[in-house]
Amino acid sequence: MHLNARAMRIFRHLARGSRLNRYSNGQTMGEYALIFAAVAMIAYAGFQVLGGDINGMMNSLGGNL
């Protein structure tokens, strides 16, 4: 295969990929689900670690009211 013909095939392949990528901007529902799951796991872990402290603060706050 001639070098110019090979370069043209690569260029066409890259151009086709950028044309397809142009229509897939933004997050998909799957990406939002992954972000939500990560936030939920971090919040759950935080509540497990700090749960007793938060409970104590809420009880003292309720007692002060």
Give the separation between CA 49 and CA 42, rounded to whole angstroms: 11
Q: How far apart are CA 44 and CA 50, in angstroms?
A: 10
Alpha carbons 9 and 17: distance in angstroms, whole number? 12
What angle (nearest 5°) sits at the alpha carbon of residue 42, between those of residues 34 and 40?
A: 50
pLDDT at 28: 82
Residue pLDDT, tens place only, 12-62: 776 666 555 555 566 688 888 999 999 999 988 888 888 888 788 888 888
pLDDT (0 to 100) of residue 35: 92
With 0.85 as the threshold, say if the pTM is over it. Answer: no
Q: Which domain holds residue 26?
A: 3-64
The total of structural domains in the chain comes to: 1
Confirm if 47 and 54 have CB atoms less than 8 A apart.
yes
Structure tokens given for 60: 């003292």
